[in-house]
Structure 1
């Protein structure tokens, strides 16, 4: 095999090794775990935000949670690959994803288990499965973070196309669009814009922007002045804004002829063949409770509740207060394989 071929496959090889590591770690944890009810969860939401929620579940139910967290660089993709690898002998009970597209990939391939429809019924139809396989909750928005010391008011960006403006060459940033919410955003653009326009956008973006390892890195680069502006998630943007850095958050594409801002929810689902089904059901019910959306809304990440009646933080906007991008998430998931192949070819060696 040629060295170039090996290099092109490195991201896939690394993700596969991470999946093996996760399986070994969970096997050891289960073998060494005290007796009593237990549930295994894979979660792509940052540990600093998800662990307190899981600890509260244990306090309330007595069910111990064994959690596998993902890394920033492989967000959701590494855990998804682990679930595919384990499909014949599931180890995980509940998948708490920080986006939608990879959850829908699992649903399309028959790796998720249907639940009673009443469990998801209170959430908007666009953010839950028609087959009761998954449900979305606690969203984040894809926003532009602008350094106000470097960008004058009259030059403020208004939409994602501004990332491709030559006047900002090498002064704007995006996370590598191979994992997490950046990959989900790309899949949504393929679904809404179509293949030709989306490929053109990402080629122009690659030529104009700095490509960083993750959304946190983009937000930090803007905050510290390494970039004039970049695209990130509301949780990462808020960290820099509330730390006192000279930044402003822009909800992009609000004009009548523009797409609107993309809101990406967390998703939760039970893995088909879950070893601890009763405990998994209780954990899913807890994660979808008003209590959890209130905690996530009030916390540092200010995640946006999707259950009607749960108040959002005044630190963020919501689909009720700004123009939201209208997406067929099922179509986005269906386009993912082709989209991912293109994005890997363009961005696998970027940075």
Structure 2
């Protein structure tokens, strides 16, 4: 998604990923398995997500966080959506609704950075604290874009096939 956005389309994005694939060290169970290799100097760079990288920085201090960008362009990123909801007919419906209401409340969202290591989903909440300040600094100059999720949903199979062909995955 980011490559399609940054390179202006599917073909240029796949060209980039095809070139990048030449440096691939092989399959990994998860991006979380790559960060320790970066910390030990076994890899120079790996992909990750900001929340995970911040969460393990004390244990693995030799990693740095950066957002790649084409020359002359600002670095970009996007928020990957997560969802929570009630299961129809599930137990404790009233309590479950209270929990969801609390989790999205300003009070709970203000705690997210320092207790959960993430970013609030509410745009009207600005968390305070050491983690929040470090996260803000890491995001300075990074343009956040909102993907067109309807197009992604419609084109997902084509995107995945293009990725498989470009990367041999």
Partner SS, residue 14 of structure 2:
helix
The CA RMSD over aligned residues, in Å, is 3.2
1:210 counterpart = 2:29: no
Is residue 338 from structure 1 mapped to residue 158 from structure 2 by the alignment? yes
State the secondary structure of the residue aligned to 2:133.
Answer: coil
Partner of residue 73, structure 2: 258
Q: Measure the CA separation in 1 of the matches of 2:148 and 2:84.
A: 16
Q: Distance in 1 between matches of 2:16 and 2:52?
A: 24
The aligned counterpart of 2:88 is 274
Shift of 1:275: 2.2
Structure 1 stretches of 5 or more lacking a match?
1-186
Q: Which residue number corresponds to residue 127 of structure 2? A: 311
Alignment size in residue pairs: 160
Q: Is the 8 Å Cα contact of residues 4 and 13 (structure 2) preserved in structure 1?
A: yes
Question: Contact between 1:190 and 1:335, CA under 8 Å: does it hold in 2?
Answer: no
More strand by share: 1
Deviations along 1:285-329, whole A, 9 cap, x unmatched?
A: 232123333333103x62122421331511212797432242333
The answer to whether the 8 Å contact 2:110/2:120 transfers is: yes
Distance 2:37 2:62 in 1: 12
Instruction: Report how far residue 198 of structure 1 moved.
Output: 1.1
Q: Cα 1:254–1:310, aligned 2, differ >3 Å: closer, same or farther?
A: farther
Aligned partners of 1:263 and 1:319 also within 8 Å: no
- Post-superposition Cα deviations, 1:58-97, rounded to whole Å, max 9, x if no partner, equal xxxxxxxxxxxxxxxxxxxxxxxxxxxxxxxxxxxxxxxx
Which residue number corresponds to residue 248 of structure 1?
64
- Give yes or no for the alignment of 1:293 onto 2:113: no
1:237 aligns with 2:56: no
> Retained in 1: the 8 A contact 2:31–2:48?
yes
The answer as to whether partners of 2:78 and 2:147 remain within 8 angstroms in 1 is no
Select 1:329's aligned residue among 135, 148, 154. 148
Q: Is there any run of 5+ residues in structure 2 with no aligned partner, and where?
A: none
2: distance between equivalents of 1:320 and 1:245?
Answer: 18
